[in-house]
Amino acid sequence: MTATALSGKELATEIRAETAARAAELTAAGRPPTLAVVVATADESSAWYVRSIARAAEKAGVHCDVIDVGPHAAAAGIAGTLVRLNADDAVHGVILQTPLPEGVNAQEMALAIDVGKDVDGANPASLGRLAAGLPAFAPATAQAVVAILDHHGIELSGRPVAMVGRSTVVGKPAAHLLLDRNATVTICHSRTRDLAAVTRAAEVVVAAVGRAGLITAEYVSPGAVVVDVGTNPTGDGGLAGDVDAASVGAVAAALTPVPGGVGPVTTALLLSHTVQAAARVRAGG
Amino acid sequence: MTATALSGKELATEIRAETAARAAELTAAGRPPTLAVVVATADESSAWYVRSIARAAEKAGVHCDVIDVGPHAAAAGIAGTLVRLNADDAVHGVILQTPLPEGVNAQEMALAIDVGKDVDGANPASLGRLAAGLPAFAPATAQAVVAILDHHGIELSGRPVAMVGRSTVVGKPAAHLLLDRNATVTICHSRTRDLAAVTRAAEVVVAAVGRAGLITAEYVSPGAVVVDVGTNPTGDGGLAGDVDAASVGAVAAALTPVPGGVGPVTTALLLSHTVQAAARVRAGG
């Protein structure tokens, strides 16, 4: 392992400290910033994630309401809950946790989240605004990719970047954010012919495919920077990235660790967005 | 010139014929499909384009209303016009023509266009829906790029495609459409380092930058397919593409001509979208 570890912990700590300070101000002004997390699943790893958000929120002084509508909720019921939260002035950020019950489309549901409260950029309208250069919250994970590169002084302008993964949650919004930083972005996916050749041509590789260890040394050119967005549960209760750190670490110049890389920055940004949303409402009203 | 000319005329004729047939049905049913074009400029090439849309609409049996709010219209007035058209059941498609008066942001204005009537995919919400795989009209030009490739049997799945240009109107939505067809898409732009090397690595090159003749032979690999979205006015009243057809035509396998390539397909798709919007309203009401 010769690659520099691009830790996200220090950056997450910075964001959390700033968020906590702003949250304290808002609370003192009688407007405690509040994040609502709508859950419609009994999925255990989802429950684990929601608990980790709730804990982080509490530490930052952000109120977190978990609204569990049950794993059999219908689309209309979920949308109704989101509409009610949009109308609730005491709620500033709204997240719809996935997975959703079978037959309920996450993108369609997310259309019901008010763009001003869409702190995880789940509403396709937020993605469109982002792509069009209008104010919107980016999905926290996508923003964490760029934030962690910025924090470690990695230049993006003009550089070839391979975005591996084209999900609406990470790959597509991250591509827009990277493009906005003047990177030349290649979006790769499961149907990409000779993926390793495409990623080897990039100076920065971002992996967000949800397949543990997919990116091995042969996918990476010497000196490249690699961002690992993967959080694949391992058999022993741990987390594995999309990048095989052991082999890639010997080739790449720098690599974000899993855990401790993109993950903590994502959670911190989610809370930061909530406080921003609360501050904006306050300024507006 | 050894490259095959990928003409758009035949495809445009097909789309127009289908559109005219559906328009006649809708008109017979007492619901003449209607496109409203909002103009807030005295720009001559814009006026030329609007006249060409109006002529094409008339031929297809689509009613076209040009609403000229004047080159000094304020943002509120333009948005108000769009909101009024959204509410008008006799109007099925709405286009906001650019350029807009100084200080008026086209993306912001387009937010006011109802997504169901946004037949040129100008509203960032339409772009977001497109990226998220939800129903929406794509910008006609972006869709024309994929339609013309399909028409000529050019395979996209798995192939490396260079999208040169990152505008909200063409480059970004076209990238999503190409991605949706499983192409591996590289989005290049003015800040791309060694653009020629990037485009030479692609099997399909789409040029949408608005610079006459930018793409010369050295930007294209032998056997590549080149789509020219450029419509740059020439001194003598003609149109020049972004591709230098004389030099690229000797290297590429196929090339869309300008004029007669993407242009006629774009206009035909715009009218097709309007008829689709009218048919949908009718089905719904």
The residue assigned the tokens 């057809």 is B245
Asked if residue A231 belongs to a known ligand binding site, the reply is yes
Q: Which residues 200-239 of chain B have a CB within 8 Å of chain A?
A: 201
Distance CA B65, CA B91 (A): 9
**DSSP secondary structure letters along chain B:** --SEE--SHHHHHHHHHHHHHHHHHHHHTT---EEEEEE----HHHHHHHHHHHHHHHHHT-EEEEEE--TT--HHHHHHHHHHHHH-TT--EEEE-S---TT--HHHHHTTS-GGG-TT--SHHHHHHHHTT---PPPHHHHHHHHHHHHTT---TT-EEEEE---TTTHHHHHHHHHHTT-EEEEE-TT-TTHHHHHHT-SEEEE-SS-TT-B-GGGS-TT-EEEE---EEPTTS-EE-SB-HHHHTTT-SEE--SSSSHHHHHHHHHHHHHHHHHHHHHHH-
Please write the tens of the pLDDT for every residue from B39-71.
999 998 899 899 999 999 999 999 999 999 999
The yes-or-no verdict on residue A10 having pLDDT over 80 is yes
Of B63, B95, B113, the last residue of a domain is B113
Strand partners, B66: B37
Report yes or no on B3 lying in a domain: no
CB atoms within 10 A of CB B157: 10
Percent of chain A with pLDDT over 90: 93
A197 CB near a chain B CB, below 8 Å? no
**B184 to A176: CB separation less than 8 angstroms, yes or no:** no
**B57 and B158 housed in the same domain:** no
Distance CA A33, CA A106 (A): 25
> What number is the average pLDDT over the span A178-201?
98
**B179 and B243 housed in the same domain:** yes
Spatial CB neighbours of B26, under 8 Å, sequence gap ≥ 6: B32, B33, B275, B278, B279, B282
Report yes or no on B86 lying in a domain: yes
Report yes or no on A14 lying in a domain: no
**B98 and B150 housed in the same domain:** no
Q: What's the pLDDT at A282?
A: 56
**A128 to B124: CB separation less than 8 angstroms, yes or no:** yes
**B102 and B146 housed in the same domain:** no
B164 CB near a chain A CB, below 8 Å? no
A166 CB near a chain B CB, below 8 Å? yes
**B165 and B258 housed in the same domain:** yes
Q: What's the pLDDT at B238?
A: 87
Please write the tens of the pLDDT for every residue from B120-154.
999 999 999 999 999 999 999 999 999 999 999 99
Instruction: Report the residue from B124, B125, B198 with minimal CB separation from A184.
Output: B198
Domain CATH code at residue A103:
3.40.50.10860
> What number is the average pLDDT over the span A128-132?
97
> What number is the average pLDDT over the span B28-43?
96
Termini Cα distance of chain A:
53
Q: What's the pLDDT at B119?
A: 98
How far is B195 from chain A, CA to nearest CA, in Å?
9
Q: What's the pLDDT at A285?
A: 42
Contacts of B108 in chain A (CB under 8 A): 134
In 3D, which of B242, B269, B271, B270 has the Cα closest to residue B257? B242
A129 CB near a chain B CB, below 8 Å? yes
CB B255 within 8 A of CB B241: no
Please write the tens of the pLDDT for every residue from B262-276.
999 999 999 999 999
> What number is the average pLDDT over the span B230-253?
94
CB B122 within 8 A of CB B85: no
Number of domains in chain B: 2
Report yes or no on A257 lying in a domain: yes
Spatial CB neighbours of B69, under 8 Å, sequence gap ≥ 6: B38, B39, B40, B77, B78, B81
The yes-or-no verdict on residue A77 having pLDDT over 50 is yes
**B95 and B177 housed in the same domain:** no
**A108 and A150 housed in the same domain:** no
Please write the tens of the pLDDT for every residue from A83-93.
999 999 999 99
The residue assigned the tokens 């719809």 is A96
Percent of chain A with pLDDT over 70: 98
Report yes or no on B275 lying in a domain: no
**DSSP secondary structure letters along chain A:** --SEE--SHHHHHHHHHHHHHHHHHHHHTT---EEEEEE----HHHHHHHHHHHHHHHHHT-EEEEEE--TT--HHHHHHHHHHHHH-TT--EEEE-S---TT--HHHHHTTS-GGG-TT--SHHHHHHHHTT---PPPHHHHHHHHHHHHTT---TT-EEEEE---TTTHHHHHHHHHHTT-EEEEE-TT-TTHHHHHHT-SEEEE-SS-TT-B-GGGS-TT-EEEE---EEPTTS-EE-SB-HHHHTTT-SEE--SSSSHHHHHHHHHHHHHHHHHHHHHHH-
Query: Which range (A46-50, A58-62, A76-80, A227-231) has the least confidence?
Result: A46-50
Q: What's the pLDDT at B41?
A: 95
Q: What's the pLDDT at B285?
A: 42
The yes-or-no verdict on residue B113 having pLDDT over 50 is yes
**A146 and A247 housed in the same domain:** yes
Instruction: Report the residue from A129, A134, A182 with minimal CB separation from B191.
Output: A182
The yes-or-no verdict on residue B103 having pLDDT over 50 is yes
Domain range for B241 is 140-263
Q: What's the pLDDT at A91?
A: 98
In 3D, which of B45, B96, B51, B91 has the Cα closest to residue B69? B96
Report yes or no on A212 lying in a domain: yes
Distance CA A242, CA A232 (A): 7
Contacts of B127 in chain A (CB under 8 A): 127-128, 131-132
**A145 and A83 housed in the same domain:** no
**B36 and B96 housed in the same domain:** yes
Please write the tens of the pLDDT for every residue from A190-200.
999 999 999 99
Contacts of A115 in chain B (CB under 8 A): none
B135 CB near a chain A CB, below 8 Å? no
User: How many interchain CB pairs under 8 A, A with B?
Assistant: 107
Distance CA A97, CA A76 (A): 16
Q: What's the pLDDT at A4?
A: 97
Report yes or no on B184 lying in a domain: yes
Domain CATH code at residue A251:
3.40.50.720
The yes-or-no verdict on residue B283 having pLDDT over 90 is no
**B158 and B108 housed in the same domain:** no
**B64 and B147 housed in the same domain:** no
**B132 to A124: CB separation less than 8 angstroms, yes or no:** yes
Read off the tokens for B197: 């090397």
Report yes or no on B249 lying in a domain: yes
Mean pLDDT of chain B: 96
Asked if residue A167 belongs to a known ligand binding site, the reply is yes
